[in-house]
């Protein structure tokens, strides 16, 4: 561990948990690695956010030892910060500013996504649950470099449309959607594009426009994983 920390110029202490005593007490022993395996005793990838009073405020957990939560995702989740360049999408009366929490990452890392919507006055878009003859608002990333994705949408407003005889979930004005994506493992270092689509249907109290699917791309740099600790001389 000391050789690795020196090679990577780490500026913080690294603690060795011989026998995995602390890992076991925290309940994060990786049970996918059987006893007898040389990696037995490693933890599940876990981040704890601890307050100044020593109380754990949040826990971020992933079930695969090859994946990690980016610290920038925690900043988005707890404090609303993104810190990376944004991409704006303008489609008639809708504007979306979508921001990943980092511009560079390594394979197997989970990144946060902030998506800030602004809907023009007099218009709305739809949330879920929704009848099949309408199009719900959705952000979808392509699977070329994204292994998995999930988004949390705010609770939509239920509006009764008397002319339609229906009560539907809608979004108006400004709102934020938060999400996370898992970058695929095994990607080679280089410059990539996070490609995706925004799907939505824009309506007013009088008319509904044709459903749209607007493509977007966000630059993302994939860096090489840190090499293992150098062998002792």
Q: Please choose, from the candidates 39, 181, 168, the residue with its C-alpha nearest in 3D space to the C-alpha of residue 105.
A: 181
CATH number for the domain harbouring residue 214: 2.60.40
Better pLDDT: 75 or 116: 116
Count of CB atoms within 10 A of residue 62's CB? 17
Q: How many domains, the chain?
A: 2
Domain contains 18: yes
Q: With cut-offs at 50, 70 and 90, classify the pLDDT of residue 232.
A: confident
Same domain? 200 vs 173: yes
Structure tokens at 131: 């009848």
Q: Give the span between the Cα atoms of 19 and 2, in whole angstroms.
A: 18
Same domain? 21 vs 135: no
Domain contains 232: no
Same domain? 133 vs 61: no
Same domain? 88 vs 9: no
pLDDT digits (tens, 9 = 90+) for 104-161: 999 999 999 999 999 999 999 999 999 988 999 999 999 999 999 999 999 999 999 8
For residue 47, what are the domain limits?
2-65
What is the pLDDT averaged over residues 64-83? Answer: 76
Same domain? 162 vs 90: yes
Residue 69 above 90 pLDDT?
no
Same domain? 160 vs 90: yes
**Cα–Cα distances in Å, from 89 out to 10, 83, 92, 173, 198?**
39, 19, 10, 16, 9
Same domain? 49 vs 83: no
pLDDT digits (tens, 9 = 90+) for 153-207: 999 999 998 877 889 999 999 999 999 999 999 999 999 999 999 999 999 988 8
Same domain? 132 vs 204: yes
Same domain? 42 vs 135: no
Same domain? 82 vs 59: no
Q: Please choose, from the candidates 51, 86, 47, the residue with its C-alpha nearest in 3D space to the C-alpha of residue 70.
A: 47
In this predicted structure, what is the pLDDT of residue 125?
Answer: 97
Residue 82 above 80 pLDDT?
no
Does this model's pTM top 0.85? My answer is: no
Same domain? 95 vs 60: no
Q: Give the span between the Cα atoms of 233 and 230, in whole angstroms.
A: 9
Same domain? 106 vs 35: no
pLDDT digits (tens, 9 = 90+) for 4-61: 899 989 989 988 898 999 999 989 999 888 889 988 999 998 888 899 999 998 888 8
* Mean of the per-residue pLDDT values of the chain: 90
Q: Give the span between the Cα atoms of 161 and 155, in whole angstroms.
A: 18
19 neighbors 35 (Cβ within 8 angstroms): no
């Amino acid at each position: 561990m000391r050789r690795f920390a020196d090679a990577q110029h780490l500026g913080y202490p690294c603690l060795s948990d011989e026998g995995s005593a602390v890992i076991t007490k925290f309940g994060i022993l990786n049970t996918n690695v059987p006893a007898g395996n040389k990696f037995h005793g490693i933890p599940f990838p876990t981040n704890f956010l601890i307050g100044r009073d020593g109380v754990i405020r949040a826990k971020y957990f992933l079930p695969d030892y090859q994946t990690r939560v980016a610290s920038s995702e925690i900043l988005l989740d707890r404090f609303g910060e993104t810190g990376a360049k944004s991409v704006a999408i303008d489609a008639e009366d809708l504007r979306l500013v979508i921001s990943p929490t980092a511009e560079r990452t390594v394979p197997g890392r989970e990144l946060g996504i902030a998506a800030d919507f602004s809907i023009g006055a007099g218009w709305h878009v739809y949330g879920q649950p929704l009848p099949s003859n309408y199009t719900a608002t959705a952000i979808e990333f392509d699977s070329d470099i994204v292994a998995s994705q999930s988004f949390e949408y705010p609770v939509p407003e239920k509006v009764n449309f008397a002319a339609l005889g229906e009560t539907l979930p809608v979004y108006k004005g400004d709102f934020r959607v938060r999400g996370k994506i898992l970058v695929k493992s095994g990607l080679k270092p280089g410059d990539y594009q996070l490609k995706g689509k925004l799907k939505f249907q824009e309506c007013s109290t009088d008319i509904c426009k044709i459903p749209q699917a607007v493509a977007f791309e966000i630059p993302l740099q994939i860096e090489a994983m840190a090499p293992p600790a150098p062998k002792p001389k």
